[in-house]
Amino acid sequence: MIGKTVLITGAAKRVGRSIARELHGAGCNIVVHYRHAAEAARTLTEALNEERSGSACCLHADLLDVRALAALVDQSVAHFGHLDALVNNASSFFPTPLGTIDEAAWTDLMGSNLKAPLFLAQAAAPHLRESHGAVINITDIHAERPMAGYPLYCAAKAGLLGLTRALAIELAPDVRVNAVAPGPILWPEGGDDFDSAERAEIVAHTLLKHEGSPHDIARTVRFLLADAPYITGQVINVDGGRTAHL
């Protein structure tokens, strides 16, 4: 993938950063998109540029601002001259028990997990057609099997899975579109969402009996981008086998 340029949303930390490092290690130029994590984005970008001069830049955007989405793609192309892949990784995640859901929660969860990936892909499409590129959407195993207490998040990820298949049709044959669906990889920041008993139960439901790592997601993204020319419209569950008996 030497010289390929990849825009990764929410790339400053956690899984997004691991994807950025993995693809950079494979020779890609990386656009590190961030919203609040400015310092982490700058630190990562500097580290990548120290490894290979001029191989990374960081760009700010709130993905809930639909006008910022085309601008993010335009700025990426202006910086590197072309775009080969879009990784829709950014996501908000919080519980929305039925009866508590308001429009702000809808806007946030649907906006970051579904609406932004669509408008980013639409803006990127002409560039990706030109480069015969790819889109990778990071979904969730709970797109297909919803998790109690998280109906909006699960519906948004289900939409993203549907969008993956629809975009694979719309953008064929020039652009491949696939999804990676993580299982338990990194617990949410803040640590309030799952207590230790819930975490243990989730891990016990994997076949492999341990959590995955961000690198498990990153290496799957790399596979889909670099080594899967005949795969499109698909989802790969990276979940230690959890969906085999959910």
The residues carrying an active-site annotation are 153
Contacts of 81 (CB under 8 A, 6+ apart): 5
Shortest CB 75 distance to ligand NAP, Å: 14
Instruction: Determine, following the binding rule CB under 6 A, whether residue 7 of this chain makes contact with ligand NAP.
Output: no
Contacts of 7 (CB under 8 A, 6+ apart): 31, 33, 72, 73, 76, 83, 85, 86, 87, 120, 124
Rounded Cα distance between 167 and 88, Å, is: 13
Contact pattern for ligand NAP over residues 129 through 168, marking x by CB under 6 A: ---------x-x----------------------------
Nearest to 122 by CA among 177, 70, 87: 70
Nearest to 69 by CA among 18, 27, 33, 98: 33
Q: Which of 34, 80, 119, 150 binds ligand NAP (CB under 6 A)?
A: 34
Contact pattern for ligand NAP over residues 95 through 124, marking x by CB under 6 A: -----------------x------------
Q: Report which residue's Cβ sits closest to ligand NAP.
A: 10
Instruction: Determine, following the binding rule CB under 6 A, whether residue 14 of this chain makes contact with ligand NAP.
Output: yes
Instruction: Determine, following the binding rule CB under 6 A, whether residue 198 of this chain makes contact with ligand NAP.
Output: no
Within 10 Å of residue 172's Cβ, how many Cβ atoms? 12
Shortest CB 246 distance to ligand NAP, Å: 13
Shortest CB 25 distance to ligand NAP, Å: 18
Encoded tokens for 59: 């760009």
Contact pattern for ligand NAP over residues 163 through 182, marking x by CB under 6 A: -------------------x
Nearest to 228 by CA among 237, 236, 240: 236
Q: Which of 43, 82, 93, 94 binds ligand NAP (CB under 6 A)?
A: 93
Instruction: Determine, following the binding rule CB under 6 A, whether residue 36 of this chain makes contact with ligand NAP.
Output: yes
User: Please, are residues 164 and 139 in contact by the beta-carbon 8 Å criterion?
Assistant: yes
Q: Kindly report whether the peptide bond that precedes residue 173 is cis, defined as omega within 30 degrees of 0.
A: yes
Instruction: Determine, following the binding rule CB under 6 A, whether residue 15 of this chain makes contact with ligand NAP.
Output: yes
Question: What is the contact surface with ligand NAP in residues (CB under 6 A)?
Answer: 10, 12-16, 34-37, 62-64, 89-93, 112, 138, 140, 182, 184-186
